[in-house]
């Protein structure tokens, strides 16, 4: 029975959500729910990797589901750095990931560092999540699709293998 535990958003630990360049308005910030370290580790161990040495996306081995990319998107770095460009990242994600806007997704930077966010909110504010760009990814416990972001601007959508759960508390 997986019961996720959350902690309050912290201005220092979760600084990216308060950063002036891509900050979130307070009404959006309350929709970002950081997982307690223990919950993040529990989800990582069950859905990503049980190997304690594989604690970061860039440490996952060849053949891991994170490599099951079925579609590559636009250069997210270019869009992140150019606010005058159309948001082709969000457009690409909307066209490739068939989740309702209210779908709860988990965004991981590492085994101990993850937040839960609704898909629609992520699409609205994806730039805020990518200050740390060393291979973070987004997944949903109920769905096989995932989204990964590479450190040089590459991004992909794919299908993960392994267990799926009907709810985060089942």
In a domain, 48, yes or no: no
Rounded CA gap, 112 and 13, in Å?
12
Range(s) of the domain holding residue 91: 65-170
Contact 47, 162 (CB under 8 A): yes
Q: Does residue 54 fall inside a structural domain?
A: no
Residue 89 pLDDT class (50, 70, 90 cuts): very high
Does residue 5 fall inside a structural domain?
no
Give the model confidence (pLDDT) of 46-73 as tens digits: 999 999 999 999 999 999 999 999 999 9
Q: Any alpha helices (H) in the chain, and if so which ranges?
A: 26-29, 37-43, 76-81, 88-96, 119-129
Q: What is the mean pLDDT of the chain?
A: 91
Percent of the chain with pLDDT over 70: 96
Residue 120 has pLDDT above 50, yes or no: yes
Mean pLDDT, residues 96-108: 97
Q: How confident is the model at residue 168 (pLDDT cuts 50, 70, 90)?
A: very low
Is residue 169 domain-resident?
Answer: yes
**What is the count of structural domains for the chain?**
1
Sheet strands (E) in the chain: 33-34, 69-72, 104-110, 113-118, 137-139, 145-149, 155-159
Separation CA 141–CA 82 (nearest Å) = 32
Residue at 53 is within a domain: no
pLDDT(163) > 80: no
The answer to whether residue 56 sits within a structural domain is no
Residue 170 above 70 pLDDT? no
Flag whether pLDDT at 164 surpasses 80. no
Q: Report the predicted TM-score, pTM, of the whole model to 2 decimal places.
A: 0.92
Q: In the structure, what pLDDT confidence band is assigned to residue 162 with cuts at 50, 70 and 90? A: confident
Q: Is residue 42 a part of any domain in this protein?
A: no
Q: Is residue 11 part of a domain?
A: no
């Amino acid at each position: 029975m997986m019961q996720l535990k959350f902690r309050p958003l912290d201005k220092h630990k979760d600084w990216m959500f308060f950063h002036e360049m891509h900050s979130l308005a307070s009404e959006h910030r309350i929709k970002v729910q950081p997982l307690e370290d223990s919950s993040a580790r529990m989800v990582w161990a069950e859905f990503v990797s049980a190997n304690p040495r594989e604690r970061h996306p860039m440490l996952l081995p060849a053949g891991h589901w994170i490599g099951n990319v079925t579609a590559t998107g636009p250069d997210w770095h270019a869009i992140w750095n150019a606010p005058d460009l159309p948001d082709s990242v969000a457009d690409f994600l909307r066209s490739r990931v068939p989740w309702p806007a209210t779908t709860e997704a988990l965004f991981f930077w590492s085994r101990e560092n993850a937040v839960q966010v609704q898909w629609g909110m992520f699409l609205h504010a994806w730039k805020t999540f990518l200050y740390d760009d060393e291979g973070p990814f987004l997944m949903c416990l109920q769905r096989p699709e995932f989204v990964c972001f590479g450190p040089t601007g590459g991004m992909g959508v794919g299908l993960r293998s392994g267990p799926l759960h009907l709810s985060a508390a089942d």
